[in-house]
Each structure stands twice: as C-alpha cells, then as structure tokens.
Structure 1
Amino acid sequence: MNSTTPDIDYLDFGIGILLSQIADGAMLAGHVDNEPVLLARRGEEIFAVGSVCTHYGAPLADGLLVGDTVRCPWHHACFSLRTGEVLRAPALTSIPCFDVERKDGRIRVRARRKPASRRSLPAHSGLPDSIVIVGGGAAGLAAAETFRREGYDGRLTMLSADTSAPCDRPNLSKGYLTGTASDDSNPLRTAEFYQDQDIELKLGARVGSIDTGARHVELTDGTRYVYDALLLATGAEPVRLGTGDERPHVRYLRTLADAHALNADAVASRRAVVIGASFIGLEVAASLRARGVDVHVVAPGAIPMQRILGNDLGQHIRTLHEHHGVVFHLGTTAASIGVGGVTLKNGATLAADFVVAGIGVRPTLTLAKQAGLELDRGVTVDPYLETSVPGIFAAGDIARWPDRRTGENIRVEHWVVAERQGQTAARNMLGRRERFDCVPFFWTEQYDFSLAYVGHAEGWDKAEIDGDLTARDCTVTYRRGGQKLAQAFVHRDLAGLRAELEFERAMVRNE
C-alpha cells in the first residue's frame, strides 16, 4: 500500500485492442487521451471505468472483480463497473465511466459518460422531514453523503463537537504526521461540498441532551434541533493517562487540532515518549522517527500488539521499530510525568520534550445513556443499526451490533466499519431494511511495512502463519475452536480481498 498514483499503462484503449486480449474475468489497465482507464470483462460484457481508486490512488487493476463490481486492493473500497458509482467506503467519490465500442473483433473505449444524476426518492409519508446526525466523524459524514446520494432532499443537519470539518483521521498518525500529506489533503470534503449538498454542518456544536419524546436535541448553548430520525455517531475519545496528563506537553491524537499540536512538537523537539504500543501509538512512533525524533515506547505487555496479532507478528513489529531506532520499555507503565521526562513504575526515567499517549479509546456514550438507550459496552443496535428507541440509529465506534458470522454482539473501532455503518444506517433511516453485514477491515502502515486485517477476533486460541514473515509475505489466520475468525495479511493485498469475499459468502451460506 502507498499513496502514489500508478503510471498510465501503455495500452491505448482509444486505438483499441483485440477482444481476445482480455479474458473473461480479467482486467487490463490502459488509457484514453492520457486518462487512466480500466477495462474489465464479465462474459460477453466489457466495462470501461477509471483505473485509479479515489481514496488513496490505488491501481484498481490489482484489485478483485466481484460480479459487476471492482474492489480496491489497498483499503477495499468498491465501485460499480456499470456506472462507476462508489458502493463502499472508504472511497467517497465515484470513478468515471466510459462508453465501449465493439466492432470487427476489436474493443475501443469512447467518450466519458456524464455522471449519473442524483437519485430521486418517491414521495411517501414514511420519509422523515428532518434528519439530525450527532457526530462529525467517519460514520456521520458517510451517512450524510448517503442520504443525498439516495435522493433524500429533506432537512439534513450534522452536529459536530469538533471545531474542524470531518477529516481523514487514519492519516493523522501516518502521512500527515510525517509531513508528506498537506493540510489541504486532510479534510474529507470542502466547505463548498456541504453547501452544494445542502448539508447543514454545525461545528463546535456540543449536544447536551436528547428528548426522545419531543424528538429534539438540545445543544449546551440551548439551541434545539427537531428531528424525525436521529443518527448517533458520537465516536470514541482517548483514554486519559490520569498521571500528569494535564501538562501542556502531553499529547493525544484524535482530532485535527491534536494533529496540528503534535506536528508542531515533531518539528521543534527532539525527544518523545510514546505511552502505549497500540496501532495508534506505533504509527505515531514510526512517523516521529521519519521526522528524526528520538522515540521511546512504554507499554505494559511483553510484546507489542500481542493480544490482537499474536507473538510472531507482534515481535516482528517490535524488531521493525528497533531497526528504525525506537527503544522499547515493556512490562512497565508510566508512574508520573514531569516537565522534562517520564518516570516509569520500574524506576527508570526517560527524558522527553513531549509525551504522546496512545493507550486506547472509549466509546462516547453520555448522550446515549441520557436518552435511555440500551447499552452494553456500547449502544446496542439491531441488524439494521436501530437502537432500542424507534427512530434513533447508531453507527461507528459506539455501535454494538449482532455479527452474523459468529452470532455474537460486537463493537469495532475501525474507520472503514464506521463509514460503512453510516452508509447502511442512512439507507435504513430512509425505509430500507438492509442488514449490516460488513466484514470488519482495518490497515496499518509503519515505515515501509503494511498490514491489512480482515474479520474480527476478540479472542482466539490459535494463530497460523502461511508464508514468510521475515520476507514480509505472509498470511496469519486466527481461529477459535477451529473456526476462522480473522486473517492478517502482510503485503498480500489481493489475498486480503479474497478473504473478505470468503467471509461474506460464508455469512450467506450460514443464513
């Protein structure tokens, strides 16, 4: 995985190719008038669409054809081959679609089609007149976009406690912190987008209460917003250290403002202590090392990420960081944080110009509890993401939903899951009855190492490695009682897509 746009292939689809050059079920990358184009064949049907994923620029030719769709190899976005429409997050923008001419055994790609016009929902009494979304993160924005894409033209309000518009949060600890991603690249949408889509985005809007009887939310400043349907997407907040974390040089990374402060530290300072060997903590460590900052990582476990990834993969990640100069202090925690350093419980003292806490997050449930929603270490939702109160849905880090693969209720703190839940919740709030059956997926990038994780395994008893971890070419399968729950893929993008599809098909078979 990387964020570079692939080179345009030499095949000129404007001139055309022989039909025999593309086999059934195959894809070819080429161009028309210097625009990258993907040609795909399904039986006798030939499709031509843009060949670059609109999320991070992955080459779709390296992805997977599933029916009349193509899935991105890096982060599993999905696009329609018939229309170019984006069907699944994390991509939010569709790809272009082209006319195809077949004549005398040759295929030629012709004019780019006009983008499909926005759907128009048939008017009926069941549609809500006013929808309110509480939350300005992944789930909230994905839901807002889906409402408009599905043709909803009623009043649509997003209330975000953040002072910044929805941003690309996964990149805050990666390219944004290394300095390779600009400020302009981080907002998910421009201010003009919200205006054009008639989405009323209120920033710095803290909701104090929800009146489920009167169907309105009230901000802490007393402003009220009436709703016919409500989506709670309040996300999660960092777990606080509780030991000197009020000091100004102690950082958390959740918001764009947090990222700005951490970026400034990375530029001006030379020594950092990262408390926590979570994905966020280790991504921050890698990014700070790319800036030349000396980094020490403190964590209570014996091996980083051991509970999630297992001994072998966790140890490999530790060795990777040590190779890049990171010093680990494992089996201990911070006892106190002073002006110039951190004292550990084992008695060691680490010098630090700034400290980054990455010890996990907790779902933000205050509003859900106040509204009387059923809770279970999150907001309990049904298969359609509706809460115990009719008309109120929940999505993202707060939602605990019934997983059809395992029969368990699960809550997952993944960006892609949050976006897809927002999309599904929006369609259901418009009257659909669409189960949320997304296979959880997340990715991490640390230095030149990338890992994709498909599925969900809160507890597992066996981790099997297929391939060569030292060569960064392997799959790790996590099982419990013999059941395959999840797989991690090291530099095996296509295998990750196939595993996702396998899990999806298994859910259908088990129905």
Structure 2
Amino acid sequence: MAQQGKVEGPDLAEEGVALDAFEAGIPIGGQVDGQPVVLVQTTGGIRAVSGKCTHYGGPLSKGLCVGGEIRCPWHHARFDLESGEAVGAPALDPIAVYEIEERDGRVYVTGKRPDHGDRPDPLRSPGSIVIVGSGAAGAAAAEALRRHGYEGPVALVGKEKPVDRPNLSKDYLAGTAQEDWIPLRSEEFYKEAGIDLIEAEVSRVDTAEQVVQLESGETIPYDALLLATGAEPRHIPIPGADLPHVFYLRTLADTKDIISALDGAQRAVIVGAGFIGLEVAASLRQRDVGVTVVAPEEVPLAALIGDALGRFVQDLHEEHGVDFRLGRGVNEIGQKAVTLDDGAVIPADLVVVGIGVVPRTGLADEAGLDTDKGVIVNEHLRTSDPNIWAAGDIARYPGPDSEPVRIEHWVLAERQGQTAARNMLGHDVAFKDPPFFWSQHYDIPINVTGHLGDWDDDVVVGNPSEHDVIVGYGKDGVIKAVATIYRDRENLQAERALAEDDQDQLRELFARE
C-alpha cells in the first residue's frame, strides 16, 4: 500500500498562487499547516481541497479535474470539489474542502470548511434492502445506500467481512502490508452506519416471497435485493490438484494459508501467467522463495496488454529471479514436484493456481433470473426481476457497443455497487464508466483503462523498460483501451476521453512525442 511522501509546494495560506498560473483541469499543489492541499480552476471558479486521496494516499496534485470532480492519479478515485464526497471508488471516505480568498491577483487558502452536510433524501425508499455478497460491489453498495440518504434496514450477507482484495496478492502476500490494512472497514463502522453485517452463506433466494434464505435456515425479507456474489477460482482438473499444498487465491483466508505454507518452503510453482499469478510470483520472490511460472502462452499477458508490455513484465520478473516455462501445461502435481506436459519435473513445496475465475451465478440461476455467462442486467444493473439488481463479477451489462460484457475488476465492481445502490433508491442512473484496473509487480504499477477484450492493433509510445510508456489498443481505427506505466495523468485523460467517446482526445495522447 503506497503512501504519499513529503508535502511539497508553496504555503497556500501565506504565499498563495497567482491567478494566471491556473491551467484548466490541472490541480496546483501546495500545503496548509503542513497538510497537502490543491487548488483547481473549474467552470464554477477556483476550489481548494485536500491533496491526499483517502484510498491509498495518492497525490491529487498529480491528478485531473473533470467537471466538478478531482480524480486521483493512482487508482482513479473521484471526489466532488464542492462537498469533498468520494463519488467514485476505490476511495470511500471524503476529502476536506477549504475556503479561499482572492486578492491582489492571487488566491489564498483561508481555512477548512466545516464537515460535510446532510445526506440527500432518496427518491424511493424500499422497506428493506438485502445485499448478498460482501466483496467489492456489495460493500460499496451498502455504504452508498447510507450516503444517499436511505434509512431503512440494510443487511450485508457474505462468507467473510469486506476486505481490500487487491492487496491480498500484492503487498499483504509480499509481507509489506500489515493485516490491519486489509479490512475495508471496522465492525464498529458498520454498527454506527446501521448496516447489519452477517457472516453466512446464502442458500436460496425466494423471489415469490421476497426472502433470502441462509444455510442455517434463517430467512431475511427484502423489498430490494442486490446480488453481488462475485466469482470463484477456476480449478485445474489434473491428478494431484486436491493435495494440501495446492492453493487458489481469492480470500483473506486463502492468502493466510499460502503465507503459512511458506514456512520452510524453498520453491513454488505458479500455474497461470495472468495478473494474479504474476502478482503472486512477485510477492513470493520478495519473500525469497524460488518461483517457476508455468503457462500455455508464449508471452505472458500478451493477449490482454500486447507483446510490448507482456515481454516487459516477463523481463521484469526474470530480473527478479522468476523462471518461466511458457508454451507448457501441467500434467500432474505431486507431493514435492510438478510434472509438465513435456515430461519436465519442477520441484515445488507449494503450488498456486491462477487460471481465471468463474462467476457465482448459482443463486441467480435457481431464482429463475436471466443468465448467460453471468447475470443479465440492463444499463441500470437491474435483472429480469424488477426487485433484484446485480453488480460486480457476476453482472453482464451493456458495454460501449451495447453488446453484453462481464468484467472482473475491483474498481468497476465497487462502482457498479454504488450505481446499483442509487438505482435501488430510484435514481435510474445508467452505468457507463470505462473499466479501470491496476496491477503491481515489484513496485512497478501498470494502469489500464477501457475495454481490453476486443482489440487487434496496439500503438506503443515510450519505453516500457524505462518505466515510461503509454499503449493504445484499437480495432478498426478506434481506440478502445489505454495502458500506462508512470503516466498517470494521461491514463486519467484516457478515461475521460473513453467516457466521452472522444477519439480525437485519445489520439492526441499518442501524438505528444
């Protein structure tokens, strides 16, 4: 979990900033009483807010202002410039808002505004709301219901408490993040918010009676229901796959099991060279465990982010001692070794399998909802049952070309949960956010925005090996997604352009050098 370093920039209370220094949409960073603060010119005038993102502490001075929002450069959290509210995940807490004064051609920060005001009244108020699934979408939805003024009963039902899942394969597994960083919220938070956090498995949804049944037999009534059951790891169907030293990483318990298995371990085999598998590889190398990655592709991640970035990621891992066996599969897992499809035997004290996930649609199927490679929803994330919404990894929603898409990204799941919550309260907001995700390998971040599933041409500007690159992914001359390394503001600009379907803005990003 990265944190912002030393506060830099002018003292905005004493020195201020010249009025002619502002550039549209670009924050100006400074400090007040030793705390980071940013000033920004908007169509409504100049605004001042805290300069530190409430997600992982990213510097908002390096972010971007879009409309009435400021967006974080690291993971694209969004904050309202008037209220400071976190209006787009992954940040969930607001930032401070400051008062300003203009005099003698300069802008000064005069002090912090009082805390945020009253919550809005919902347009519609269901008698009770149940959320099934306590992952990204479910947890974000529960908070959003309260933030948008809903005062009725909210039950958040899941097998585990809400946790910061992206950290599990990254810093936490690497041993550089403390366990108290992992919960999204404390139990006290949910109590104070009036959210009934229930650790249980749901066995059935009765749409006729509008109740959710737990495995214990207990039932919970609902007037509006959100299904956010997420996905589960795809299991590998080979001999030895059920041995106790074979792991899949999805939950905090999974990660703890892997960490426990590392005691005395010298060699690990990772099956799969996707983002999760490679993040696990990086984390284990940081613990000085030898790692071999086995995967059928010739270049890791190439199908997703292209050869240039894929080869860079492979080179980066090899520089850190990872052994790749590409173009290969695993035939059998033994007690102390893995046998590949070419007969090679690779020593392994533990095996981590990362070959994708499968959406958990069982409850939706049994409830009679429309499903097809996920739970079918409309642009408002409503299912075929008017009292049920779906969000996150299970939701198959209209994409940019109105074709159904299902995407497995943390930030997207949180934002879908937030949108579904608003729609349960009668707002009828269409979900149109471009997907965004980040991956981290040995402290090198890769940020990706847009739809990566359908491209046939990529344009590379910069040099991945110098950790300074932007890559565009297109089809038929249309840019559909953008990936960057340490070009955070350009990634934010790409997100804005994709949301506005502005190809000219996107092409401009690749014409600057």
TM range (shorter): over 0.9
Match of 1:450 in 2: 445
Distance 2:106 2:464 in 1: 44
Change (3 A) 1:172 1:18: closer
Shift of 1:310: 1.8
Conservation of the 8 A alpha-carbon contact between 1:443 and 1:451? yes
Match of 1:213 in 2: 208
- Could you tell me which amino acid in structure 2 is paired with residue 343 of structure 1? T
Distance 1:399 1:12 in 2: 47
- Could you tell me which amino acid in structure 2 is paired with residue 129 of structure 1? G
SS at match of 1:310: helix
SS at match of 2:325: strand
User: Does 2:226 align with 1:227?
Assistant: no
Q: Within 5 A, what are the aligned runs for 1:321-400?
A: 321-400=317-396
Change (3 A) 1:285 1:65: same
User: Does 2:192 align with 1:193?
Assistant: no
Match of 1:67 in 2: 67
Deviations 1:290-331 (A, max 9, x none): 110000001111111121112222122111111111001111
Match of 2:149 in 1: 151
Change (3 A) 1:362 1:44: closer
Deviates more, 1:176-185 or 1:457-466: 457-466
Deviations 1:228-280 (A, max 9, x none): 00000000000112332221111111001111111223343221000100100
Shift of 1:471: 2.0
Deviations 1:44-72 (A, max 9, x none): 72211110111111100001111221111
**TM-score, reference length from structure 2:** 0.95
User: Does 2:117 align with 1:121?
Assistant: no
Match of 1:85 in 2: 85
Match of 1:173 in 2: 169
Change (3 A) 1:447 1:301: same
Number of equivalenced pairs: 502
- Could you tell me which amino acid in structure 2 is paired with residue 81 of structure 1? L
- Could you tell me which amino acid in structure 1 is paired with residue 451 of structure 2? H
Match of 2:132 in 1: 134
Distance 2:264 2:118 in 1: 48
Q: Within 5 A, what are the aligned runs for 1:195-344?
A: 195-203=191-199, 205-243=200-238, 244-344=240-340
Q: Within 5 A, what are the aligned runs for 1:471-482?
A: 471-482=466-477
Change (3 A) 1:309 1:44: closer
Q: CA RMSD in A?
A: 1.7
Match of 2:8 in 1: 9
- Could you tell me which amino acid in structure 2 is paired with residue 286 of structure 1? A
Change (3 A) 1:508 1:426: farther
Change (3 A) 1:270 1:91: same
Distance 1:48 1:459 in 2: 40
**Which of 419, 422, 425 is equivalent to 1:430?**
425
Distance 1:414 1:184 in 2: 23
Shift of 1:415: 0.3
Distance 1:365 1:507 in 2: 35
Conservation of the 8 A alpha-carbon contact between 2:16 and 2:109? no
Deviates more, 1:241-250 or 1:363-372: 241-250
Deviations 1:97-139 (A, max 9, x none): 11112234343322322221341426x7x42010000000000
Deviations 1:387-418 (A, max 9, x none): 01111000000000001x22211000000100
Distance 1:226 1:432 in 2: 23
Conservation of the 8 A alpha-carbon contact between 1:445 and 1:451? yes
User: Does 2:95 align with 1:95?
Assistant: yes
Distance 1:61 1:18 in 2: 14
Distance 2:315 2:404 in 1: 35
- Could you tell me which amino acid in structure 2 is paired with residue 323 of structure 1? E
User: Does 2:482 align with 1:487?
Assistant: yes
Unaligned runs of 5+ in 2: 505-513
Distance 1:10 1:381 in 2: 47
Work out the percentage of aligned pairs sharing the same amino acid.
47
Unaligned runs of 5+ in 1: none
Distance 2:16 2:43 in 1: 17
Match of 2:407 in 1: 412
Deviates more, 1:87-96 or 1:315-324: 315-324
Change (3 A) 1:111 1:142: same
Shift of 1:24: 4.3
SS at match of 2:465: coil
Conservation of the 8 A alpha-carbon contact between 2:22 and 2:28? no
Conservation of the 8 A alpha-carbon contact between 1:24 and 1:42? no
SS at match of 2:270: strand
SS at match of 2:262: helix
- Could you tell me which amino acid in structure 1 is paired with residue 10 of structure 2? L
